[in-house]
Structure 1
């Protein structure tokens, strides 16, 4: 691997206690092309990074997602390695993160933090939240990605171009994971180690940002796994109709008629069945769409080979 083909992207906001050691370790591993995208730090983080030879990009918007999107537009290298500047993602795993890309096995790599981490790096609430969100992502998207909220990632330039990212906050990792599924990109998970933050406190609010992340999983999941979403809604409607139907039937045996309730029961059951069918049809259309995309990718690859000849 030619490490000059790699751009190391580090989003920062007031990371003066850790950014220096992170950059120095990356440089000791041979990574010289380091891009710091800074969210207007007030503690001298950009100056420290610049003094060590890193390129500095001051973001225009606010939020981690906005910083990453702005940075992706500036990067031209074929490979991108992204890690946090707070010292939680050890640079020593950089080679392992990039190897699946360079070997051609994957378009996207996720650094798994949850299998091995320093004592105190993740609270019980953090672990519970990550477990719930990873499992919900699997149900909503039909793919298990181990650690969808990891900030330690590696991309090919080509895969980034396909994603059309738009989230400006901490939902950006969820959007990236969803885009990997939606565009049928090859991905691998590499086990890494997660360290305790030695510098500033975390900027992620577990409840506010957790709600936003779950909402993003649901929103993007409708495009990747419509059968799950419509079938759940259909089952809930059908179940509601079944419950009201039991009430109507029991009273009917007692000689009591509930005409409005009977109509509601039929509407709920029929709507539930139709909703489930919509999900089934949507899933079939999505499968056909993915097959067409694969065929187009093959044709494009063949045309590129012909151009080279």
Structure 2
């Protein structure tokens, strides 16, 4: 699958020192590609890892690209730009999302959707997987504001598992380099009148023994 034209689906995983969970995330992504029936690739966009994550990704069969600037958004932007697929899926390296559930996202893209976002709030949040304030205050409030101002009907604007077509990605013209990338993506989808679908998804508990990259209040204000 060395030729761009042979790749139909790319699953992009941003990565910064994720040696504990990266192999599991890649394995789920590869299973998703197999279940989709499409030719595909797993792209790990590395954001300057120093724990051997790049070697783990290559060992697990992923293609590693290097994001030139630090930041969640920059890592995803580089991954999207270098991905070869017509259908693009994004999700985290911490294995809290089950990429196999993204097969349903891809079906919506095949049927005419431009952008698909998961909803953990409408799906299955495993015990300990989401802080109380995120679940009952932060995410619902931000989702309400985005719906109000940008004409969308979503319940979980912060869900990190999403899918879109290559054409939709090119149209959005995304630029945010930090965690606010997630809000820019959904806001522009509303502004540009993309056909948006929401699909319930699961959220598993983060089993890593390090602090998450997301900072509740700091990144919440940046989103606003």
Give TM-score scaled by structure 1 length: 0.66
User: Residues 168-203 of structure 1: CA distance to partner in whole angstroms, max 9, x if unpaired?
Assistant: 101111101011111111011010001111123311
User: Residues 40-96 of structure 1: CA distance to partner in whole angstroms, max 9, x if unpaired?
Assistant: 112111110111111001111111111111222212321101111101111220211
CA RMSD of aligned residues (A): 1.5
2:100 corresponds, among 92, 105, 119, to 92
Matched, 1:204 2:208: no
Flag the structure with more relative contact order, 1 or 2, with Cα contacts below 8 A and sequence separation at least 6.
2
Q: Map residues 123-138 of structure 1 onto 2, 5 A cutoff.
A: 123-127=131-135, 128-138=137-147
Distance in 1 (alpha carbons) for counterparts of 2:215 and 2:117: 22
Q: 1:32, CA displacement in angstroms?
A: 4.6
Q: Which residue of the partner structure matches residue 73 of structure 2?
A: 65
Q: Map residues 245-264 of structure 1 onto 2, 5 A cutoff.
A: none
Distance in 2 (alpha carbons) for counterparts of 1:141 and 1:103: 23
Residue 216 of structure 2 aligns to a residue in which SS?
Answer: coil
Distance in 2 (alpha carbons) for counterparts of 1:202 and 1:167: 19
Whether the 8 Å CA contact 1:57–1:71 is kept in 2: the answer is yes
Distance in 2 (alpha carbons) for counterparts of 1:25 and 1:70: 21
Q: Which residue of the partner structure matches residue 195 of structure 2?
A: 186
Distance in 2 (alpha carbons) for counterparts of 1:25 and 1:137: 30
2:23 corresponds, among 17, 20, 23, to 20
**Compared CA separation, residues 76 and 198, structure 1 to 2 (3 A):** same
Q: Map residues 24-173 of structure 1 onto 2, 5 A cutoff.
A: 24-29=27-32, 30=34, 32-104=40-112, 106-115=113-122, 116-127=124-135, 128-173=137-182
Which consecutive residues of structure 2, in runs of 5 or more, have no partner in the other structure? 1-5
Distance in 2 (alpha carbons) for counterparts of 1:212 and 1:140: 17
Q: 1:25, CA displacement in angstroms?
A: 2.6
Task: State the 4+ residue runs in structure 1 displaced beyond 3 angstroms.
Answer: none
**Compared CA separation, residues 186 and 196, structure 1 to 2 (3 A):** same
Whether the 8 Å CA contact 1:64–1:169 is kept in 2: the answer is yes
Q: 1:145, CA displacement in angstroms?
A: 1.9
Whether the 8 Å CA contact 2:15–2:93 is kept in 1: the answer is yes
Distance in 2 (alpha carbons) for counterparts of 1:36 and 1:205: 23
Residue 104 of structure 2 aligns to a residue in which SS?
Answer: helix
Q: 1:150, CA displacement in angstroms?
A: 1.3
Give TM-score scaled by structure 2 length: 0.89
Residue 75 of structure 2 aligns to a residue in which SS?
Answer: helix
